Structure 1
């Protein structure tokens, strides 16, 4: 079975023993240096595009994201300097440089939000806000294009929210079980080219809030 492309971001609890078990894929754990190299909206969009749709050139990515090829080329080189993307010479035809993602997802430890360096804390904040912005953008894109999809796919989507009264321990347990459930479906993923099979984006959010 051909492995599907992946674009996952896991925000972990600080305590190692409380972290959900990592799936059996190649995920990169962000540290202070790599976070500062990634925490830029266009860089995160470039990395996401390469994970979701596979290798591409700076020009192709510029057209896809509505940016200049000069901007995408510069930020791809910055991503490469921090090890997030690598050359994909097997796709090259001619002189244009092809890029691919170096890993399948990111593991973000919220201890970075408490780093003694304010620049790291700022980068962590930028990173998380861009993740939230990406989720909102992807959902808005789906709502704007849903009529382009078949009735079967329209009926196979979800946009729900729920409120529970939980303790922190119960919330962590819920998050672990949600992640485990999603990962259990990765083993069932149909091979590339299977009729009606598409990439499906899944967002999970769990956070406390006050009604005051």
Structure 2
């Protein structure tokens, strides 16, 4: 390990075949705002064509088609042959989620291109989280009162060591995942719930 390179903790999803373990090579294929939006759309709304995604995202079909092919080259999306008819090509997400593999650290990676790609991905994720939250706040009046009472926007101030921060993050992930598959898709009154986790240190002066 190079000097001052922090040890990367094992991912809690390392053995989950539904999660895409991103390495330094595939990270370069993901680090583009439109590609991340395309991948998110396929994961959230299901298979689609390049033209359908273009309409949803307000982009040209030429741009969505090109970036879908790039995502496919790096293993993020794949053809959905069950839906394609004739020349119509349908795409689907190859995995349900993405995690950084053990070879990818954040600001300490030796390759400046990899550090830049990580920055693009993280800033795009943060932008998406903010957009989703703002969309909820602007439309929450359209939801039943039960859902309005169930929503939560909280922040907490804790004094922790890096080790305890990792422990807390892992426990939150485990808790959220324990609620998966508890409610059938067609359950009356149910909905898809978005949960964001942000954890970072703050200066004290």
Q: Distance in 1 between matches of 2:12 and 2:114?
A: 26
> Deviation digits for residues 145-188 of structure 1, max 9, x if unmatched?
11221111111111111111111121111111111100111142
1:67 pairs, out of 55, 59, 65, with 59
Cα distance, 1:195 vs structure 2: 1.1
Residue in structure 2 matched with residue 195 of structure 1 by the alignment: 188
SS at match of 1:113: coil
Cα distance, 1:113 vs structure 2: 3.4
> Deviation digits for residues 21-58 of structure 1, max 9, x if unmatched?
22855111111110001000110010011011110111
Tell me the matched-pair count: 197
- Which runs of 5 or more structure 2 residues have no equivalent in the other structure? 1-5
SS at match of 2:117: helix
> Deviation digits for residues 37-82 of structure 1, max 9, x if unmatched?
1000110010011011110111111111111111111111110111
SS at match of 2:156: coil
Q: Distance in 1 between matches of 2:170 and 2:34?
A: 30
Query: RMSD of the TM alignment (CA)?
Result: 1.7
Is 1:140 equivalent to 2:134 in the alignment? Answer: yes
Residue in structure 1 matched with residue 36 of structure 2 by the alignment: 44
SS at match of 1:21: coil
SS at match of 2:98: strand
Q: Distance in 2 between matches of 1:33 and 1:61?
A: 26
Q: Is the 8 A contact 1:20 1:176 kept in 2?
A: no
Q: Distance in 1 between matches of 2:146 and 2:12?
A: 33
Q: Distance in 2 between matches of 1:28 and 1:20?
A: 11
Residue in structure 2 matched with residue 204 of structure 1 by the alignment: 197
SS at match of 2:200: coil
Is 1:127 equivalent to 2:121 in the alignment? Answer: yes
| RCO comparison, higher one (Cα < 8 Å, 6+) | 1
Cα distance, 1:89 vs structure 2: 1.5
Q: Distance in 2 between matches of 1:78 and 1:113?
A: 25
Q: Distance in 2 between matches of 1:140 and 1:148?
A: 14
TM-score by length of 2: 0.90
